[in-house]
Amino acid sequence: MKITWSDFCLDFDKKTHIMGVLNITPDSFSDGGLYFDREKAVEHALRLAEEGADILDIGGESTRPGSDTVSVEEEIRRTVPVIEAVAKKIKVPISIDTYKADVARRALDAGASLVNDISGLRFDPEMPKVVAQYRAPLILMHIKGRPKDMQQNPVYEALIPEIMDYLRISIRLAAKSGIPEDTLIIDPGIGFGKTIDHNLEIIRNLKEFTLLGRPVAVGVSRKAFIGKILGGASSSERVEGTAAAVAIAIMNGARIVRVHDVKEMAKVARVADAVLKGKL
């Protein structure tokens, strides 16, 4: 299974791919404010690529639980100059982490080549048209509610089937707009409208999502459920916990892992891949 487009190729049979996170925000849960300065953001993006990121995921709006939205104009102001600068310096595919069609369009014009939509095409009806127009690969994620309220007592009658149904509908929405199915990636949305128990159940049952026939991406990096398992560890103290969750996710079918600690998680992925394949 692979996705080939433009000058890029993600060959998921060859290895697990590392998606490095760059949040150009003042309030993201893990690195909010660290890269809000444009020059620091560009430097960090280049560092992530050097450390082994196969994809750079750049976002300008925090989607942590309880977060407020920012305007399209502000999101563009934060992300587009960084994308323009990074795209000129390295040949690593850049993903724009947004659910807003106008932001995606400007980012794709600036040098991004993927779209990572946390809403699975549900929040902006114009998004499918933009993705289809640019022929960009698309990550479809599951979310219950919106970031502002998603962690307010999320309840499911049947967790895995409900998430899979949501993603099936997202795949159909993409197809109706002319987005080829072979450019889609799915993400069960760990931490997006889920309790700790929900997150653990998703990771345990990740293989179920491979039945949808698309590569599976997961984002467990430094998330709150890891901190709670580790007795209240802060985000910077969750690297080892993240490594455990990443390794298990890969063993259970994840082909993209979205992480903050690229250097460390690239090593984790390399070992997990070797175990899966039975060879180096």
Residues with a catalytic annotation lie at 223, 258
Burial of 203 (0-12, 13-18, 19+ CB in 10 A): buried
The whole-angstrom separation of Cα 175 and Cα 51 is: 35
Separation between Cα atoms, residue 55 and residue 3, nearest integer Å = 13
Which DSSP string do the residues of 25-42 spell out, in sequence order? SS--TTTTTTT-SHHHHH
Q: Where are the beta strands (DSSP E) in the chain?
A: 2-5, 8-11, 17-23, 55-59, 94-97, 114-117, 138-141, 184-187, 216-218, 254-259
C-alpha 81/C-alpha 38 separation (Å) is 8
Look-up: residue for tokens 């893990």? 30
Among residues 136, 23, 141, 28, which one has the least CA distance to residue 79?
23
What is the residue whose two structure tokens read 């620091």?
40
The pairing of strands 55-59 and 17-23 is parallel
Contacts of 61 (CB under 8 A, 6+ apart): 25, 67, 69, 70, 75, 98
Backbone angles phi, psi at 160, to 5 degrees: -65, -50
